[in-house]
Structure 1
Amino acid sequence: MNELTLAPRTHDLLSPRGAARWPEDRPRPTLRTLDLVIDGTSLLDRVFTQLPTFSLRSPLWIGYPLVVTHARALLGGGPSDLADDDPADHVALFMCPSCAIGGCGVLSARLTRDGNRVHWTDVGRQIRGVADLGPFTFDADQYDGVLRPLTET
């Protein structure tokens, strides 16, 4: 059984080329998200070990109303914003860091509930070069306890 937790994470939104040209006296554009952490390890960091230039980020943006929509989808209670070719039973785990809309790119997983368990299978099916990212099985009470507070904001 896996354990899901969330951790705040700040992402620099500049490309390496853009960062090199960015004026030092101006604040750099960043995005604050809630990172999906499975068994103590960031899922994003697992992807980075296979694809160091991976550009998608968690759709759980801190301080943005869309966090409610994405948290509900991860709970299985609403549609997830997916790419056109993703199956309807998938949820977005990572999305475009500029717009958080599935059409720009998404890494998803099939979400199923089976009694007191939540399963993520078929993880990252649409991202070439990503392997061994699942499946994951969570205790439903623990999983819901992590995500449900995000729907109450």
Structure 2
Amino acid sequence: MFQNVGLIPSVRSGAVLGPATRTRREFLGFVIDGRPLLSLFDGEDVVSALATDLPPRALSREMDRLRLRGPSSLPNGRQVLYCCPECGDLGCGAITAMITRHDELIIWRDFRWQDSQDQVLESYPDVGPFRFSADQYRNVLEQGAPLRIGSTGTD
């Protein structure tokens, strides 16, 4: 009935692309039943909202949003899962989902690529819904805060 959710330290490599540059970003990637969630989104160049180069308070705020302990950064209550790796601005577009809690169940559903104005740029009807045990979900997010690239999570 439940799926397993996890977080793994991930890297978006940096590069010099002619006159432009591609910024290296470290983030915690979502894994569902052993498969990176990002692999379901047609190679989108995004990083999770859990960028490990965020100041600790900002990373904690993102964790709280995913735990449904803080307000969404979007007016429609959806939660940002992945965003622009260069600036994190929702105006560039973001992969979002509805995250709800029903008793001891956390559900991620209705995945979309949208902008900050709630304009849906693409839907992902073949992704999800995913159902997680609320306890396992909470534990993963609480343990994920100290993870960093190259860390074992026990540092």
Deviation at 1:100, TM superposition (A): 2.2
Q: Distance in 1 between matches of 2:72 and 2:134?
A: 19
Name the structure where helix makes up a greater proportion of residues. Answer: 1
Aligned to 1:35, which of 14, 29, 33?
29
Measure, in 2, the Cα distance between the counterparts of 1:13 and 1:105. Answer: 20
What residue ranges of structure 1 are gaps of 5+ in the alignment? 23-27
Larger proportion of strand:
2
TM (normalized to structure 2)? 0.76
The RMSD of aligned alpha carbons is 2.5
The letter for the 2-side match of 1:117 is: L
Q: CA deviation at 1:149?
A: 3.6
Mark the runs of 5 or more structure 2 residues left unpaired by the alignment: 114-119, 148-155
Please state how far the C-alpha of 1:124 moved relative to its aligned partner.
1.9
Distance in 1 between the 2:23 and 2:146 partners?
28
Q: TM-score, normalised by structure 1?
A: 0.77
**How much does 1:151 deviate?**
5.7
Aligned: 1:44 with 2:38: yes
Change (3 A) 1:103 1:150: farther
Aligned to 1:98: 86
Rounded Cα–Cα distance in structure 1 between residues aligned with 2:30 and 2:62:
12
Runs of 4+ in 1 over 3 A off after TM superposition: 149-153
